[in-house]
Amino acid sequence: MTIRRFCCSFCFLASVALNLFFVISPYYLSDWKKQKLSNWAEEAAAEAEAVALISCSGHGRAYLDGVVVDGKPVCECNTCYTGPDCSLLNPDCAADVNSGDPLFLEPFWMQHAASSAVVVAGWHRMSYTFSDHSYISQELENHIRRVHAVARNAITKGKHLIFGGGSTQLLAAAVYALSINLSSPAEVVAAVPAYPVYKTQTDFFQNTHFEYDGDALLLKNSSDTTANVIEFVTSPNNPDGNLREAVVPQGASVTAIYDHAYYWPHFTAIPAAADEDVMIFTISKLTGHAGSRIGWAFVKDEGVYQKMQSYIEEAELGISREAQLRALKLMKTILHADGREIFEYAHKKMSDRWRKLSDIVSLSRRFSIQEVPSLFCNFFEKVRGPSPAYAWFKCERNEDKNCTAVLRAANIIGRPGSRFSVEDRYVRLSLLKSDDDFNLLLLRLDKLVNQDDDANTI
Amino acid sequence: MTIRRFCCSFCFLASVALNLFFVISPYYLSDWKKQKLSNWAEEAAAEAEAVALISCSGHGRAYLDGVVVDGKPVCECNTCYTGPDCSLLNPDCAADVNSGDPLFLEPFWMQHAASSAVVVAGWHRMSYTFSDHSYISQELENHIRRVHAVARNAITKGKHLIFGGGSTQLLAAAVYALSINLSSPAEVVAAVPAYPVYKTQTDFFQNTHFEYDGDALLLKNSSDTTANVIEFVTSPNNPDGNLREAVVPQGASVTAIYDHAYYWPHFTAIPAAADEDVMIFTISKLTGHAGSRIGWAFVKDEGVYQKMQSYIEEAELGISREAQLRALKLMKTILHADGREIFEYAHKKMSDRWRKLSDIVSLSRRFSIQEVPSLFCNFFEKVRGPSPAYAWFKCERNEDKNCTAVLRAANIIGRPGSRFSVEDRYVRLSLLKSDDDFNLLLLRLDKLVNQDDDANTI
């Protein structure tokens, strides 16, 4: 009996002791763990998570480097939303679909928060160069090539890769590289409607080796085989989404720069992998990270590649290592599993937007948008319909010569046709912006078309 | 008795149940916590910490975006060190002190790991612009102005701030802005010995509005008051560390761009806060983050500021948001407490290096380095000695016309005087690089000076 009581007491005491151990140990263990793992990055993680938890009603978000009020960053609201938590919609606010800001992909990255976050250590890549003496992360280069292989949109093998400050800087670098050794200045051309930066940049940098010469279509039947011509070919085209080929007859003194910013399954069928000598892409239209200022070019010719490299080096000694590190993390997220998710997501979103917009415009005789043919897509391995980045909106009535003004009166801000070197009867409407911007566009456009319809009925 | 036994059994069972709870609960609690705290940044933190724990023997480090072998990034070794953990010193390797790579500050950031780390969320700043429609983080701008206030090296009030891809891009932007509206091309000049980029960049971009015209000293006594002149004034000067003023007589057609990259207590006494119309700084020589490609200019005139802004916009639509976020974190770390720590750390390190180098060179009659006068420093509030970024090394013997070759034979790689538009009797030796590079320089130089001494004795 005594032995049994002793056993009982012992078991009880042991159990209580075990309880005590469980209660006390977490404190000691956590300290031990802290030292062991040298958890210097946890503070940064907690800080980022705290900012992400600031509620902005789904119509904005707070950023780690946002303006601080009362010790924490404030909400930065989407256009037309205000208030401390972005919950107030300004009812008279215009639908601003002017810029190509690719915020339509923001929800994708919020859904992939854990896999796309990256820590920049205080001592990360302080040097001017990587350890191979280049300005380029070899890992990032490899991952970009793999993303192209998944998208089946470009043949990258046998081509040099170079990074620039967005595709913007690479456009200038390519013009420089293709013109620097010419005996007479190169005429830089692009078929209209054309992305305005080709002209503004060429004019702005006022170099003795090149000058902007307008519409490439004017040289289509040119018999002058001696002039040095550099043709920008934007495919799909900005603003109208058409797949394009060079129009200036190719010859010894004619070269082409292919701007493939939008050549992703998001925006177009991919009939074949692009394989031109100079091809330019940008992270902005692939992942939606316009703010990163990362573009890349694939260049076949060693000499042209070297000259473009020199341009980037002379301009700013390569691009930010933080942007490269972050881009690598985004590429890794994209390539997770079979790498198809972002393309399927983006294509679905852009197709849905196009369908909704088309449904509204199709009710109108006063307005139209471009036709985009269905084509077989190498990525989806089937014929697929349109999902362009922009609507190329046209006012059909003779008197509506200034279509931007017609839309502006209906509280819609688009980009006038004259910016793309065509008449102002056309307006570019961006379909790339946030859900809020797009929904407001639909609302305003629906009202305009119905008003118009009423007017017609009356 | 039955009651007592019941109580005992109850207590025992309760205790066992409590133990069970302690054993099982962490699993459920952790799941609950995961959802509650949405700890999406922890994976990134763990990943960064794991890479930081890779041992590279203190002669290298592994990076998150380094080349991956067997599933983890490999060590990237300092010059002259090799092996999987960078533990092997190549005994014949040259001391490479050619570039201005500011790795001397790397240990500072490793010591401030927790406060300087930052998480970039997958959806961080995807837009082309900040919410005030600028390309600049207002928070970063505010912090940069505060750092200047602590260092007492510039009057920033009443001046516009603009960011560029390193100071490199801002040099070109400033020349552009100051020359674009002139009736005749501007002559761009800099007093020799001069930082080579002023010439190479001006020549490279071959603009119709400016051309490089060499040594500013040649215009010192010029009576031509009609020529448009843009003078680069580097103060402290690269390569020789001298504080400088413009030498071309100021007039209506003469403007100056002050390159103050090295005007920090690290490298020089600060006799007074700089207050010129165009002043350029870079994060590279303040925090050591050359890889970030962030420079900034303070510009007094609204028109010049607007033109520089247009230049950066046309070139690449502003600079990387990741780099800006990270720079903000670095500035916050610098400004912690009274904000003096980094200046004291950097000054001590550069002074020590200068003293050690001087001690060796002073033993030689064959070689010399520049004299740097002691001056009253506004930051330290006392007279302080030299701590320049570079040694401006001179071969004194008549026959040693190619001093770079003399040093190269002694296994030291410097930058020849001709790169700075003076004779090759001079060589620039960088004192900014890693401890390993600097120590190797001392070792090789000590040997050279002693050899030379032996030769003299014989």
Average pLDDT rounded to a whole number, residues A316-325: 97
What is the spatial distance between Cα A57 and Cα A239, in angstroms, rounded to a whole number? 33
The fraction of chain A above a pLDDT of 90, given in percent, is 86
Query: Do the chains contact at A120 and B326, CB–CB below 8 Å?
Result: yes
Size of interface A-B (CB pairs under 8 A): 344
Q: Is the bond preceding residue A84 a cis peptide, omega within 30 degrees?
A: no
Query: Do the chains contact at B40 and A114, CB–CB below 8 Å?
Result: yes
Query: Do the chains contact at B45 and A41, CB–CB below 8 Å?
Result: yes
With cut-offs at 50, 70 and 90, classify the pLDDT of residue B420.
very high
What is the spatial distance between Cα B166 and Cα A179, in angstroms, rounded to a whole number? 26
pLDDT at B118: 98
Joined together, the tokens standing for residue A270 give: 């991919």
Query: Do the chains contact at B103 and A126, CB–CB below 8 Å?
Result: yes
pLDDT at B17: 67
- Hey, of A33, A65, A209, which one would you mutate to test binding to chain B, going by the most B CBs within 10 A of its CB? A65
- The sign one gets for the Cα dihedral B170, B172, B173, B174 is positive
Residues A148-192 have pLDDT tens digits of 999 999 999 999 999 999 999 999 999 999 999 999 999 999 999
pLDDT at A3: 62
Average pLDDT rounded to a whole number, residues A320-336: 98
What is the spatial distance between Cα A209 and Cα A154, in angstroms, rounded to a whole number? 30
Query: Do the chains contact at A43 and B206, CB–CB below 8 Å?
Result: no
Average pLDDT rounded to a whole number, residues B45-51: 96
Q: DSSP of B340-388, one letter per residue?
A: -HHHHHHHHHHHHHHHHHHHHHTT-SSEE------EEETTTTEEE----
Q: What is the ipTM of this complex?
A: 0.91
The larger pLDDT score, comparing residue A16 to residue B239, is at B239
The fraction of chain A above a pLDDT of 70, given in percent, is 91
Closest CA to B137 of B406, B388, B318: B318
What is the spatial distance between Cα A304 and Cα A293, in angstroms, rounded to a whole number? 22
The torsion of the CA quartet B31, B32, B35, B37, rounded to 10 degrees, works out to: -110
Q: Is the bond preceding residue B196 a cis peptide, omega within 30 degrees?
A: no
Residue B458 has pLDDT above 80, yes or no: no
User: Over the range B200-210, which residues count as b (16 or more CB within 10 Å of their CB) and which as e?
Assistant: ebbebbebebb
- Hey, of B24, B199, B326, which one would you mutate to test binding to chain A, going by the most A CBs within 10 A of its CB? B326
Residue A126 has pLDDT above 50, yes or no: yes
Q: Is the bond preceding residue B185 a cis peptide, omega within 30 degrees?
A: no
Joined together, the tokens standing for residue A144 give: 């970009």
CB of B257 closer than 8 Å to CB of B233: yes
Distance to chain B for A236, nearest Cα, Å: 21
Query: Do the chains contact at B67 and A330, CB–CB below 8 Å?
Result: no
Q: At what angle do helices A302-316 and B197-205 cross, to 10 degrees?
A: 130
The larger pLDDT score, comparing residue B379 to residue B452, is at B379
The fraction of chain B above a pLDDT of 70, given in percent, is 91
E-strand ranges in A200-310 read 210-215, 229-234, 254-259, 278-282, 294-299
- Hey, of A76, A322, A432, which one would you mutate to test binding to chain B, going by the most B CBs within 10 A of its CB? A322
Query: Do the chains contact at A201 and B314, CB–CB below 8 Å?
Result: yes
Residues ≥6 apart with Cβ < 8 Å to B317: A165, A166, A168, A290, A293, B128, B135
E-strand ranges in B108-226 read 118-120, 160-165, 186-190, 210-215
Query: Do the chains contact at A43 and B201, CB–CB below 8 Å?
Result: no
Number of Cβ within 10 Å of residue A358's Cβ equals 15
Residues A14-58 have pLDDT tens digits of 766 666 665 555 444 444 444 444 799 999 999 999 999 999 999
pLDDT at B27: 47
Query: Which of A117, A172, A317 has its CB closest to that of B119?
Result: A117
What is the spatial distance between Cα B237 and Cα B229, in angstroms, rounded to a whole number? 20
What is the spatial distance between Cα B200 and Cα B171, in angstroms, rounded to a whole number? 11
Residue given tokens 């956590």 in the structure block: A30
Residue A97 has pLDDT above 60, yes or no: yes
Residues A193-243 have pLDDT tens digits of 999 999 999 999 988 899 999 999 999 987 777 899 999 999 999 999 999
The fraction of chain B above a pLDDT of 90, given in percent, is 86
Query: Do the chains contact at B44 and A119, CB–CB below 8 Å?
Result: yes
CB of B325 closer than 8 Å to CB of B332: no
pLDDT at A6: 64
| Cα angle, residue A440 at apex, residues A436 and A443 outer, rounded to 5° | 145
pLDDT at A2: 59
CB of B304 closer than 8 Å to CB of B177: yes
CB of B286 closer than 8 Å to CB of B268: no
H helices of A287-427, in order, are 302-316, 321-335, 341-361, 403-409
With cut-offs at 50, 70 and 90, classify the pLDDT of residue B30.
very low
Distance to chain B for A111, nearest Cα, Å: 9
Backbone dihedral angles phi then psi of residue A174, each to the nearest 5 degrees: -70, -45
Query: Do the chains contact at A114 and B319, CB–CB below 8 Å?
Result: no
Residues ≥6 apart with Cβ < 8 Å to B403: B393, B394, B395, B414, B416, B417, B424, B425, B426, B427
pLDDT at A123: 98
Residues B350-409 have pLDDT tens digits of 999 999 999 999 999 999 999 999 999 999 999 999 999 999 999 999 999 999 999 999
Among the ranges given (A412-416, B10-14, B42-46, B387-391), the one the predictor scored with the smallest mean pLDDT: B10-14
pLDDT at B454: 59
With cut-offs at 50, 70 and 90, classify the pLDDT of residue B333.
very high
The residues that bridge with B377 in the sheet, in sequence order, are B382
Residues across chain B: 458
pLDDT at B36: 40
Average pLDDT rounded to a whole number, residues B27-42: 58
Residue B214 has pLDDT above 50, yes or no: yes
What is the spatial distance between Cα B298 and Cα B302, in angstroms, rounded to a whole number? 11
Q: DSSP of A415-431, one letter per residue?
A: EEGGGGTS-TTEEEEE-
With cut-offs at 50, 70 and 90, classify the pLDDT of residue B35.
very low
pLDDT at A250: 85
- Hey, of B18, B38, B65, B198, which one would you mutate to test binding to chain A, going by the most A CBs within 10 A of its CB? B65
The larger pLDDT score, comparing residue A359 to residue B3, is at A359
Number of Cβ within 10 Å of residue A443's Cβ equals 14
CB of A359 closer than 8 Å to CB of A391: no
Give B119's contacts in chain A (Cβ within 8 Å). 41, 44-45, 47-48, 64, 117-120
**Greatest CA separation for chain A:** 117
CB of B318 closer than 8 Å to CB of B136: yes
Q: What's this model's pTM, rounded to 2 decimal places?
A: 0.91
Query: Which of B68, B114, B206 has its CB closest to that of A43?
Result: B114
Distance to chain A for B237, nearest Cα, Å: 20
Query: Do the chains contact at A317 and B166, CB–CB below 8 Å?
Result: yes
Among the ranges given (A35-49, A55-69, A387-401, B269-283), the one the predictor scored with the smallest mean pLDDT: A35-49
Residues B81-125 have pLDDT tens digits of 999 999 999 999 999 999 999 999 999 999 999 999 999 999 999
Query: Which of B23, B138, B322 has its CB closest to that of A67?
Result: B138
